[in-house]
Structure 1
Amino acid sequence: MNLNNQYQNIYIIGPQSTGKTTLVNALEKAFASGDDSISSYNFTRPSIIREVARTVMKTCNFTRDDITNSPTKALRLQELILKAQLKAEEAVLNGSPSTSWFISDRSGLDPIVYAKLFVGEDAAQQMISSDEWKTLEERMKHGLVVLCEAGCTWLVDDGTRLMPKDEEDWLRVNSGFHEVLETLAIDNILMSKSILDLQQRVKVVLDAAHRANTSGR
């Protein structure tokens, strides 16, 4: 099915503070528990790819202010995040032990969206033309992409990630994800902001993954 993987990889993407990491952690817990909610889908256990952006920011001494105050630094940061995402995916698919599939907290598309919003269209196109993105794009187009919608009730500043100035700014990032997904013709499902129950969110992802895997998309 997915580039010789047994199952399609799952990407949880979207604007800041839309429950992405919480959802990934809940999916990981569900697979680790081996409870009925998982066994009924007949999935094997995936590897988990953690968000790479935080690690890149800390190890390379970037701050969130660099994203909004310095186009040069902002682009460099997003390029490094793109490379780190590719490295993380290759590590789980080709490492020892290797895995047949993964769930990723974010994707290679996320830094492209932020480059477009905070640097400009030319910067985004530069990243889209990169060899790293070509590999990541092919993988995403054979995977299940879950876009978490902005506008939910848990917007919290953790001191590290870029935060929207207000709801309008938050929705601008949300629109940016929709636009880039559409431009690159990457199919996705929307995790509605109205779905607040975490277990219901897990079920939405598992149901969509089951449909995608059984259809052989």
Structure 2
Amino acid sequence: MTPQNIYIVGAQCTGKTTLVNALEAHYKANEPPEGQPAIIKEVARTVLVQYSFTAHDITSSTERCLALQKLILQVQLREEKRALESGAQWFISDRSGIDPIAYALQYVGQEGANVLLGSPEWAELKKRMQASLIVVCEAGVSWLRDDGVRLMPANTEEWGEFHELFCALLRREGLAFVTLSRAISDISERVQASVGAVGAASNHTVNQPLD
């Protein structure tokens, strides 16, 4: 059987990249039967730099925001193809195709999100996600920091609302996911909770929490 890919998704500043890096280290130390996963780094940062976008563009211009999210969706698909062509049987991805759609929904509106939802890129990405484990990192963690690149939430309420938007969007697209609780703060525990869900995604209901 084809190994499950793992997508680590959710609102900004919820420890996604830290978790992906820790999962990479875990599998290097504990060789899985299916071999080492390819690691897909967050593509949004690359797109921001390569195409001269800033986080401010997301909130200041709906046109610039939508153009950015389109590019992110396209690059996500490109990087997933590269990962699977690299010889690895599976991958772990820092974010996914659902992420730019969530940002388009939040900052452009449903019409903008529909542009991405109707794209051939999303059709291909969605099909792959349906056969994968999707872990949503819950907002509200204690390590929220402004690194000068990412779009920061205005307050804790906005942060939580964006998390709920993510979950609602996944449900509407029929994508099962598990939620990694913000109460799990230790990185080794976050890794074990995520690893424990691998191979069992078909048994999870939509929005099942990880203990």
Cα pair 1:7 1:213 within 8 Å, conserved: no
Match of 1:104, SS state, is strand
Distance (whole Å) between structure 2 residues aligned to residue 89 and residue 161 of structure 1: 22
Q: Distance in 2 between matches of 1:154 and 1:179?
A: 24
Is 2:144 the partner of 1:155?
A: yes
The counterpart of 2:166, out of the listed 154, 177, 181, is: 177
Query: 2:4 is matched by which residue type in structure 1?
Result: Q
Quote the residue 1:10 is aligned against: 6
Structure 2: unaligned runs, 5 residues or longer: 205-211
Name the TM-score, length of structure 1 as normaliser.
0.90
Match for residue 69 of structure 2?
A: 78
What is the match of residue 201 of structure 1? 190
C-alpha contact (below 8 Å) 2:39/2:92 kept by paired residues:
yes
Partner of 2:21 in structure 1? Answer: 25
Aligned pairs for 1:111-190 (under 5 A) are 111-190=100-179
Q: Please tell me whether the aligned partners of residues 10 and 104 of structure 1 are also in contact (alpha carbons under 8 angstroms).
A: yes
1:212 offset after TM fit, Å? Answer: 3.8
- Partner of 2:200, secondary structure, is helix
2:10/2:166 contact within 8 Å kept: yes
Q: Give the deviation of 1:214 after TM superposition.
A: 10
Match of 2:56 among 65, 75, 79: 65
Aligned residue runs from structure 1 range 91-102, under 5 A: 91-94=82-85, 97-102=86-91
Q: Is the 8 A contact 1:8 1:213 kept in 2?
A: no
1:43–1:212 distance in 2 versus 1, CA, 3 Å: farther
Q: Which runs of 5+ in 1 are unaligned?
A: none
Counterpart of 1:147 in 2: which secondary structure?
strand
Amino acid paired to 1:143 = S
CA RMSD of aligned residues (A): 1.6
Instruction: State the distance in 1 between where 2:175 and 2:202 align.
Output: 17
Higher relative contact order (CA 8 A, sep 6+): 1
In structure 2, what is the equivalent of residue 50 of structure 1? 41
Q: Secondary structure at the match of 2:198?
A: helix
Match of 2:152, SS state, is: coil
Residue 11 of structure 1 contacts residue 103 of structure 1 at CA under 8 Å; is this kept in 2?
yes
How many residues are treated as equivalent by the alignment? 204
Tell me the SS of whatever aligns to 1:210: coil
Q: Secondary structure at the match of 2:199?
A: helix
Contact 1:46–1:99 under 8 Å retained in 2: yes
Alignment partner of 1:15: what SS? coil
1:211 positional shift: 2.5
